[in-house]
Structure 1
Amino acid sequence: MTARPDPDWASEPATSRPAEGRLYRPDGTAKDLVWQVPEEVPVAIMHNSVSTAVMMATPADLEDFAVGFSLSEGFVTDPAAIRNVVALTVENGFCVDIAVDEAALKPRSVRALEGRTGCGLCGVEDIADVVKPVAPIGKAFALAPAAVQKAFAELPARQPMNKINHSVHAAAWVTPEGEIKLVREDIGRHNALDKLLGAVTREGLDRSSGFVAMTSRCSFELVQKCAHLGIAHLVTISAPTGLALHLARGAGMTLASRSPDGIVCFH
């Protein structure tokens, strides 16, 4: 896959639509307003023109989304096996077809998988497969609290969708020094992460040379997705769940979150 520039958000399909409402103020006054609400549409993810999953997502960065989802959920085992990615508008939504070497494809069931917006359990057909084993990850650098603080301070200015609809999550790829290199947004936190992981992969970035920062809570599925791609550090606005922390410890990952008093790094 060849590297490409960060996409122009304004050139993507419509990600919001206007909705009329009425604002009621605490002082008893009111006024009419127009609020932008985020779109969510069906996105069919296909491998070699065979449907693998149908997800609900915000219609932006769909090529990144399909690649990240395919890798983080284990449908594609080798990023180098991806030959081409094409997103198309279809009736009622979008389709993203990934051309990939068959040897790198996970065996598929006869039915396509369906996921709600930001579903964290997509691709799971048996309850025993919910918590997936993660391999230990080597750390190329230690996570610096100052870098986390810097990333969180910069992130709001890098969220064009959220500026107008105030209701989408962001996932950012950040250098060890706290400089944000890539940001992806979606109404679902899992989707935002998959879009980011796809962008990191398609740009050919070293996944050991940065960390992920997200505007969401840290659930175990986010840990699994990062661990599956060898990312050693995940920071989120809210604290991790117990299972997320357990999985991260098993993989040797660092989790961090923001608190009123500063940055908490979990070991």
Structure 2
Amino acid sequence: MFATHLAFTPVKWDNAALHSNRELAAEAAVAIVVNGTTQAVMMATPADLEAFGIGFLLTERLLASVDEILRLEVVDHELGIEVRFWLVEARARFLADRRRTMAGPTGCGLCGIESLEQAMRDIKPVGAGISLNAEQVYAAMASLGPAQDLNAMTHAVHAAALWHPEQGLLAICEDVGRHNALDKLVGTAIRNGLRPDHCALLLTSRISIEMIQKAAVLGTATVIAVSAPTGLAVKIAEGANITVIGVARHDGFEVFSHAERVV
């Protein structure tokens, strides 16, 4: 069983060389395997891997619905971990045909794509979503730090979370990869029957195009992050009816798209 963090004793310099104790974030090679064929291999934090696999297949559009999953299991190997899926025949056949033409997954968040058209794929606009006032934006981001248990130990992982205006944080997932954290959150939301359309998506990372694409699959209309978005992410968010709030800190934030949701 792979651990999520490992104990180390580095030499710490503070006017003198001293030994200190530190927990480091663990990462492992995680393979997403469908009906015996590997679809992608990524470095990820070895936790919430069933949710990670579901979220990855959905956000990368390798799966249309969780109803297409017949069975799944997580199997540890000496060199890494396999998240094994068995899908209905029609979907498995589609992925097998697609795999034969795939140049190779990159693990960068746009995994297993073989054309510019796929990278810039159309996004179905999300629904109305929720409105937030400034105090709620501050409260949402303030709730994120204390809930990051793994990051508190390692200071080396990203988080993605769903925040409800009345109920607070409903779910949070952490990973060494920002895309992986969001994929885990997508899978967690589906498995737990959450309503992302009633929540804001919170991120500890910058907002790039693939994060907006994944947010659209999740179905949330408001994305709030501690860092800024890219220009392309804002453009895509405009068309997808997604409010992008970036540089959200204790002393302010900036709204980059669909500002009508911030009241």
**Fold shared per TM-score above 0.5:** yes
Q: Contact 2:51–2:184 (CA<8 Å) still a contact in 1?
A: yes
CA positional deviation for 1:104 = 4.3
Q: Matched residues in 2 for 1:208 and 1:160: separation? A: 26
Q: Matched residues in 2 for 1:248 and 1:18: separation? A: 41
**Corresponding letter in the other structure for 1:165:** T
Q: Matched residues in 2 for 1:78 and 1:103: separation? A: 13
**Corresponding letter in the other structure for 2:208:** S
Quick check: 1:186 aligned with 2:186? no
Aligned residues: 252
Which residue in the other structure is 1:152 paired with?
141
**Residues 1:211 and 1:88: Cα distance change in structure 2 (over 3 Å):** same
CA shift digits 1:23-61 (9 cap, x unpaired): 222xx2331113222111111111233221111111011
CA positional deviation for 1:70 = 0.4
**Residues 1:148 and 1:103: Cα distance change in structure 2 (over 3 Å):** farther
**Corresponding letter in the other structure for 2:254:** V
Deviates more, 1:146-155 or 1:193-202: 146-155
Which residue in the other structure is 1:77 paired with?
64
Which residue in the other structure is 1:3 paired with?
none
* Alignment root-mean-square deviation, CA: 2.0
Which residue in the other structure is 1:41 paired with?
28
Which stretches of structure 1, 4 residues or more, deviate above 4 A after TM superposition?
Answer: none
Q: Matched residues in 2 for 1:144 and 1:138: separation? A: 19
CA shift digits 1:158-196 (9 cap, x unpaired): 111111111100111111347001110000000000001
Secondary structure of the corresponding residue to residue 129 of structure 1: helix
**Residues 1:253 and 1:102: Cα distance change in structure 2 (over 3 Å):** farther
Quick check: 1:54 aligned with 2:44? no
Which residue in the other structure is 1:99 paired with?
86
Q: Contact 2:60–2:110 (CA<8 Å) still a contact in 1?
A: no
The counterpart of 1:241, out of the listed 219, 230, 237, is 230
Q: Contact 1:78–1:104 (CA<8 Å) still a contact in 2?
A: no
Secondary structure of the corresponding residue to residue 223 of structure 1: helix
**Corresponding letter in the other structure for 2:83:** V
**Residues 1:142 and 1:103: Cα distance change in structure 2 (over 3 Å):** farther
**Corresponding letter in the other structure for 1:35:** R
Deviates more, 1:156-165 or 1:132-141: 132-141
Q: Matched residues in 1 for 2:82 and 2:50: separation? A: 10
Structure 1 unpaired stretches of 5+: 1-11
Quick check: 1:266 aligned with 2:256? yes
Quick check: 1:197 aligned with 2:190? no
**Residues 1:206 and 1:213: Cα distance change in structure 2 (over 3 Å):** same
- What does 1:85-124 correspond to in 2, within 5 Å? 85-104=72-91, 106-107=94-95, 108-110=98-100, 113-116=104-107, 119-124=108-113
Structure 2 unpaired stretches of 5+: 258-263
**Residues 1:266 and 1:41: Cα distance change in structure 2 (over 3 Å):** same
CA positional deviation for 1:22 = 1.7
Q: Matched residues in 1 for 2:67 and 2:134: separation? A: 33
Secondary structure of the corresponding residue to residue 130 of structure 2: coil
**Corresponding letter in the other structure for 1:139:** A
Q: Matched residues in 1 for 2:255 and 2:172: separation? A: 22
CA positional deviation for 1:62 = 0.5
Q: Contact 1:56–1:115 (CA<8 Å) still a contact in 2?
A: no
Which residue in the other structure is 1:68 paired with?
55
Q: Matched residues in 2 for 1:161 and 1:262: separation? A: 26
Q: Matched residues in 1 for 2:106 and 2:150: separation? A: 23
* TM-score, length-scaled by structure 2: 0.88
Which residue in the other structure is 1:254 paired with?
243
Secondary structure of the corresponding residue to residue 72 of structure 2: strand
Deviates more, 1:174-183 or 1:220-229: 174-183
